[in-house]
Structure 1
Amino acid sequence: MDEKKGSTIVSEEYADLIEYYLNNPKSLNQYVGADIHYMNEAFAIVHLPVSLITESAISTFGYNAIPKLYGVTSEASLQASGVYKLSQSLDLRGRGVLIGIIDSGIDYTNPVFKKSDGSTKIISIWDQTLTTGATPFGPEFGSEYNSDQINQALASQNPLGIVPSVDEIGHGTMLSAIAVGNEVPEQGFAGVAPESDLIIVKLRTAKKYLRDFYAVKKDVPCYQENHIMWGIQYCSELARKLNRPIVILTGMGTSQGSHKGYEPLPTLLSIIGDYPNTVAVVPVGNEGNRKRHYHGGSKMSNGYNTVELNVGETDEGFSMELWGDAPGIYTIDILSPSGEYISKLPLSLRLSKEISFIFEQTKIYIDYQLSQTPTGEQLILMRFKNVSAGIWKFNVYSQSTITGDFDIWLPMGNMISYNTFFTTSDNDITLLTPGAAVLPIVVTAYNVANNSLYLDASRGYNRDNVVKPELAAPGVNYIAPNQNKEYVAYTGSSVAAAHTAGIVAMILEWGVVRGNAPGLDTIEVKNYLIRSTIKPKDLTFPNRDWGYGIINVYNVFDILKRTL
């Protein structure tokens, strides 16, 4: 790889901004001398010296321009979702369909990813972390390895000497195996669509400056929004180049954002998921019972709500976001564990403020934006550094005669410990982004053994009251291979999303490859699946937990037989 080519993209000396430029390069004229990479006609990524990203970067560049940090969303039955019955009766195994997985990579040497002749099921691996191979078209970083190179590696005594891409944490390997893996009877494992082909994107981990900005520990796997966006774009362009239908799956999520799905990544996923022969699938998240969401506002006593946040001993820093419904106006005051009081923030159109404490080492960086593009809602972003353990209290005041609601979210997954939580929390609206976006198929996890919802599954709806998740799929104690070829039990909504991606591949085989319904897109496939769901007894549907019910692909074709 040319050392200059893409160097600003991967360099720790450069920061990344996401700009929604809508095919108007003149809108980027403010970035004089910056390195700009155009992802597509909607988004461009701007690379600036990292020294320009100060604590007031949100006020300087805008909230949506600063990439969000995403984490993985997981910690066994094919009969339950109708896959086995359908594959036997209609012989649908995902033939001719691509599944693009943007995650932690893949153990491409695992036999579950080989065809019957020993060749690979993988069309391409784009490893964003490597510089030894050719860069892919479009993005000018990482290394791309095609199926010929992977087959050459598989035939070698030293595969990694030819294709040196590995999956260090196993999450991407697990997702890929669930979607397309060969049956391994002795392990009780079988992938859903074993004759689909894979496009794999191994994501770079987030740059240090961004981890520092959001106060995320260096040992926690997390990924930048713009790198995931490049992966989505790559999968889409390669599928169009090959003229094949594709399911796009990412097992990542973030609790940052409005929870309405208007941030850059969910916007891109919605644009691409609307293309013909393309379906986007994402997990809802695993935040339902972790006490990381507070909901308040409409029933304020004395004109304010008191929010209590317990901060654990091991959490030295984190971010917290308050989103208030427009046209309401909110402000806060702060009481630290030692009793130090910070008076109400002044009302402002846009404010960036650093708060220091006399008796504690804590610093809080606050960005206050009265109207956040494009939702028009108010945002108060708080970033805690060297935070003291104990109970922090925030009084949230309504400063408007129009009373609405507000929501506050803490980081997801392992970005904070379980010991940091709201003492009074709300399990609803705990879905992660991009699961809050309207267009993608959003999947929650349930336990096939007893037909119960996964205990920690995130709940909907999104903040526009759109039904999310739409579907429930197997996702508890799901046996699948890890990066060491060991078969272990996985649990989480990304497991359920991978299962669903395989089911969608079967529908695309029937509709697009066999010519029964050419041009299928995300919305059409979603509606097929919703109409065919199995609904647990004694519940009203749709609901915030199960969406429209349990996925069953056999029912899809049973309905189609009666309507076509």
Structure 2
Amino acid sequence: MADQKIDNLLNLAMEAASEERIKSKNLNVGYDPEKKLWDVIVKYSGPQSGLAGEQILAVPLLGGYAVVTLPESEIDSYSHREQIEFIEKPKQLYFETFQGKEASCILPLQNGVSGLTGRGVLVGIVDSGIDFFHPDFRTEDGSSRILSLWDQSIPGNPPEGYVIGTEYTKEEINKALALGEIQGRRLVPSRDYTGHGTAVLGIAAGNGRGSGGANRGVAYESELLVVKMKNADKNSFPRTTELMEGVDYLIRQSIRLGKPIVVNISFGNNYGSHEPYN
């Protein structure tokens, strides 16, 4: 019977044949086949003095945990020590973007027969702005994927029909990119000071150029429309009025261009009734 102080995955790994462990993506994580040693996570109580020993190295952590390195042959007897409460096999960590895309079935859509890349679709955000110099928002020739950027916080040249901010065209953004960071940001001074809008748009539509294709977003061949909301007061957040105007602008741009649009809104509030519907 498997030792109940040892987690199921570690029991399974020790019972499996070496060939099965090598083929598995999980069973051999934590095991050094050359030294025949395991790194394991241990929950213990009592003094730390009894954690280490001959052929056993222990690194005590806060909260009654320790990382212990020991031969596989010693795991069973180690688990019978009175102070040992539980022994767990380590797990492999991954970039969350890979896990998220796999769980949401985005990868089969992008790479399968359908080949959905966002081409021909507009992706718009109303957020904290964008780092338009970021390579994920530029094409292979270095030009911008952003068709227009309305920064509500910079006075001077609002879009037609609106009264705040400045609208920057794709041509102006491309000129700024060609000038380089220092001069370019003088021509188009819009900045994403929090990085929130840049991160959101990267998830939605980044093309992965900044990571060699590793961290590609969902609609990575789409064209982009960006609204940076104005803060009503210093050290405050935007209001629903700025948000509504931003969404209105994006929809009007979509109609003008004759292209479908997906709008991402990651700003919100917790106002209103919280009573459930009957």
TM-score where L is the length of structure 1: 0.30
Amino acid at match of 2:223: D
SS of the residue corresponding to residue 255 of structure 2 reads helix
- 2:207 counterpart (182, 185, 208): 182
Query: Against the structure 1 CA distance between its residues 91 and 187, is the aligned structure 2 distance closer, same or farther, given a 3 Å change threshold?
Result: closer
3-state SS, counterpart of residue 228 of structure 1: helix
**Please, which of 138, 158, 163 is the counterpart of residue 114 of structure 1?**
138
Residue 235 of structure 1, aligned match among 250, 253, 263:
250
Q: Kindly name which structure, 1 or 2, has the bigger radius of gyration based on alpha carbons.
A: 2
Q: How does 1:152-551 map to 2 (within 5 A)?
A: 152-157=175-180, 158-183=183-208, 184-185=210-211, 188-207=214-233, 219=235, 221-259=236-274, 463-464=276-277
Q: Secondary structure at the match of 1:200?
A: strand
Q: CA deviation at 1:464?
A: 2.7
Measure the CA separation in 2 of the matches of 1:258 and 1:109: 41
The residue number in structure 2 matching 1:94 is 118
Q: SS state of the match for residue 253, structure 1?
A: coil
Distance (Å, rounded) in 2 between the aligned partners of 1:97 and 1:185: 23
**Cα shift readout 1:120-149 (whole Å, capped 9, x = no counterpart):** 1101100000024x2102211110001111
- After the TM superposition, which segments of 4 or more aligned residues of structure 1 sit over 2 Å from their partners? 184-188
Give the letter aligned to residue 86 of structure 1: L
Residue 317 of structure 1 corresponds to none
**Counterparts of 1:121 and 1:191, CA distance in 2:** 14
**Gap regions ≥5 residues in structure 1:** 1-75, 208-217, 260-406, 408-462, 466-564
Q: Secondary structure at the match of 1:136?
A: coil
Report SS of the residue matched to 1:223.
coil
Distance 1:180 1:153 in 2: 21
Q: What CA distance in whole angstroms lies between the structure 2 residues aligned with 1:170 and 1:255?
A: 22
* Partner amino acid, structure 1, of 2:241: N
- Maintained 8 Å contact 2:128/2:197: yes
Question: Is 1:143 aligned to residue 166 of structure 2?
Answer: yes
Cα distance in 1 for partners of 2:164, 2:105 equals 41
1:85 aligns with 2:105: no
The residue type paired with residue 150 of structure 1 is I
1:127-185: per-residue Cα shift (whole Å, max 9, x none)? 000024x2102211110001111111100131112111000111101011111112244
Q: Deviation of residue 79 (structure 1)?
A: 2.0
Shift of 1:81: 1.6
Amino acid at match of 1:136: P
Task: Give the secondary structure class of the aligned counterpart of 2:246.
Answer: helix
C-alpha RMSD of the superposition: 1.8
Shift of the 185–140 alpha-carbon distance from structure 1 to 2, 3 Å rule, reads closer
Shift of 1:80: 2.0
More strand by share: 1
Shift in Å, 1:206: 2.4
Distance 1:185 1:128, change over 3 A: closer
1:312-345 deviation line (CA, Å, top 9, x unaligned): xxxxxxxxxxxxxxxxxxxxxxxxxxxxxxxxxx
1:35-76 Cα deviation digits (max 9, x unpaired): xxxxxxxxxxxxxxxxxxxxxxxxxxxxxxxxxxxxxxxxx2
What CA deviation, in whole Å up to 9, does each residue of 1:235-255 have, x standing for no partner? 010100101000111111111
TM-score of the superposition, structure 2-length normalised? 0.60
In 2, Cα distance between equivalents of 1:151 and 1:188: 25
Task: Please state how far the C-alpha of 1:188 moved relative to its aligned partner.
Answer: 4.3
Instruction: Give the aligned residue type for 1:99.
Output: V
Counterparts of residues 35-74 of structure 1 (less than 5 Å): none
Residue 129 of structure 1 pairs with residue 153 of structure 2: yes
Give me the whole-angstrom Cα distance separating, in 1, the residues matched to 2:201 and 2:105.
20
Matches of 1:249 and 1:103, distance apart in 2 = 9
Comparing 153-162 with 183-192, which one deviates more in the overlay?
183-192
CA distance in 1, matches of 2:168, 2:188: 7
Identity of aligned residues (%): 40
In structure 2, the CA distance between the partners of 1:164 and 1:185, relative to structure 1 (3 Å rule), is closer
